[in-house]
Amino acid sequence: MGETLIRTDENLAAQMHRELGPFEHLIWLVDQWTPRHFILVFRIEGSSLSVENLNTALWQAQRRHPLLRTAIQDGNPEFVPSSVPISPRVVRRAHNTQWLHEVKRELALPFELGDRRLQRVALVQGEALSELILVVHHSIGDGMSAMYLVRDLLKSMEGYELRELPPRLALEDLLCSGATAPMNQPQPLATSSTGGAKFDRPPRASLQIFEIDPGQLDCILSRRRQEGTTFHGALMSALLLSVPAQETLHCLAPINARKLIPNVSDDFGLYISSGMATLDRNAKQDFWSLVRSARQQVMQAFNLNVLHAKAVAMASVVAGRPNPQTAYERVAQLRLQRGVDESRQVCGHA
């Protein structure tokens, strides 16, 4: 287990110990079939990043965010306190694309079941420029969480103390107070580890890279403001249009649910849901009309009743003891059907 996170002469920070919520449970389950962890890379310029300073900042971040010092206990999965610190893997920065090689390595390396860390950190250390790579198991966090973690690490390295946050309930329970009816979540059945099970694992996805020139980005941002829409909508639409030879395409996109949750703003956790944008090539829309339509479709999911219904559906899926592949397929069917229904509602009100 290595060095413990909290020394015996220190006050113990508030610990996370609860069952996984339906969405967290689903991600944990599906990750065993096809890894769902994600990565955020940020670059620090000006001087070499001290490993000692980084270790102190990571320790403070773990003290601040309870989910960063948990493991997932198998069976009926639950978060349990873990004493394992986040220790960065340090790599010498040999060239400008060294970080990309490390990202590919981390994407190919799944998280193991059991009392293991649910995050990894790699430091590509150079003399005047370094990249820090954050790798997060998706059951404990989302992209916004990773951005907040970057902010906290930088603040700590600048000498600020980080305030500790209390353990939080799962997204579904936090949302339940705003729903029109209690969640009435079905109780999951006892499950066993799937470590020895056989699945038809999907082929490993290849890493696709594209860059947007700063000048082009400025033009896109200026135009999207004129069109009254978002950059996110433009990316979704460009992705849909780039896929050939299909009349109808669907794009699943994340939405940040933090604004709907009282007292949760910059906590590290899984506080997202998703919406579905649909492209009908027979509709003959111009690009920016498609952008507005895609954004409107996705934002249909930004609704307490919709989120509540999704939570109930996911709870039903994980309560049925599916294997990881079956869980993925069942939720994909539910998402597609709901996305099509929401898309029809948008079109019907256009």
pLDDT at 121: 97
Last residue of a domain, one of 145, 167, 189: 167
In a domain, 180, yes or no: no
In a domain, 8, yes or no: no
343 band by pLDDT with thresholds 50, 70 and 90 = very low
Last residue of a domain, one of 150, 167, 184: 167
In a domain, 199, yes or no: no
Residues 88 and 228 in one domain: no
Residues 281 and 339 in one domain: yes
Select the more confidently predicted residue: 200 or 40.
40
pLDDT at 112: 85
Give the Cβ contact number of residue 302 at 10 Å. Answer: 15
In a domain, 90, yes or no: yes
pTM over 0.75: yes
The domain that holds 51 is classified in CATH as 3.30.559.10
First and final C-alpha spacing in the chain:
58
CA dist., res. 274 & res. 302, Å (int): 8
Q: Which residues, in sequence order, are bridge partners of residue 43?
A: 131
Structure tokens at 129: 């420029």
Domain range for 132 is 18-167
Count the domains in the chain.
Answer: 2
Measured at the CA of 209, the angle between CA 23 and CA 214, to 5 degrees, comes to 105
Whether 239 and 208 have beta carbons less than 8 Å apart is answered as no
CA dist., res. 79 & res. 22, Å (int): 13
pLDDT at 245: 63
3 band by pLDDT with thresholds 50, 70 and 90 = very low
